[in-house]
Amino acid sequence: MLTEKPLSLRMDADTLARLDEQASETGRPRSELVRRYVEEGVRMDRHPGIVFRPGPAGRRAGLAGGPDVWTVVSVMRDLGVSSDRAIDATADHLELPAGRVQMALRYYADHREEIDGFIRRNEEEAERAYEAWLREQAALA
C-alpha cells in the first residue's frame, strides 16, 4: 500500500504560475501534477534516455525518440533468443543500437511490475481485437 507523506516546498512565482496553468488545462489537481513530475523526474535521472509519454492506458516509460519500454521487453521475449544474444537480436529487430535496448532493460529491471502490466494489457487488447475480427469474418461467411 502506498503511504503518502506531506511535503512543503517553495518554488518561484513563474514556475507556480505554469503549474497552475497546467492544472487548469488538464483538470488535474496541482498536487497530483507535482507528484507526477517529481516521480518521473527521479526515474529519468536514474535512467538516462528514458522519457514518459501519455497514452490511453496512462503515462508510460519509453526510450527518447524510440519505442516504449514495454515494447522493447515484449519484442525481446517474443524473439525467444538465448540471453547472451537477446540484446543484439532485439536491437537488430527494432533497428536500435544495443545500448538503447540496454537502457530499456535497465528501466525494466527496476520497474518490472509496471512494464509487465503494460505488456499484459496490450496482449489482452490484442486478443479482444482478434476475437472481434474472427466474429466479423464469421458474420461475412
First to last CA, the chain: 51
Residues 42 and 93 both lie in one domain: no
Residue 37 in grid coordinates:
513530475
Q: Clarify whether residues 20 and 62 are in a common domain.
A: no
Q: What is the pLDDT of residue 72?
A: 97
Mean pLDDT of 63-87: 93
Q: Is residue 97 located within the same domain as residue 39?
A: no
* Residue 38: domain span: 11-46
Residues 34 and 79 in one domain: no
Q: What is the pLDDT of residue 51?
A: 98
Please give the model's pTM, rounded to 2 decimal places: 0.83
Clarify whether residues 107 and 54 are in a common domain: yes
**Mean pLDDT value across residues 46-68:** 94
Same domain, 70 and 129: yes
Total count of domains within the chain: 2
Residues 77-118 pLDDT 10s: 999 988 879 999 999 999 999 999 999 999 999 999 999 999
For the record, the C-alpha cell of 8 comes out as 512543503
Quick one: 20 and 63 in the same domain? Answer: no
Please report which confidence band the pLDDT of residue 2 belongs to, taking 50, 70 and 90 as the band edges: low
| pLDDT the model gives residue 6 | 82
pLDDT confidence of residue 67: 97
Domain identity same for 19 and 64: no
In a domain, 136, yes or no: yes
Question: Is the domain of 56 the same as that of 83?
Answer: yes
Long-range CB contact pairs, 52-57, < 8 A, 24+: 57/118, 57/121
pLDDT digits (tens, 9 = 90+) for 9-43: 898 999 888 988 998 998 999 999 999 999 999 99
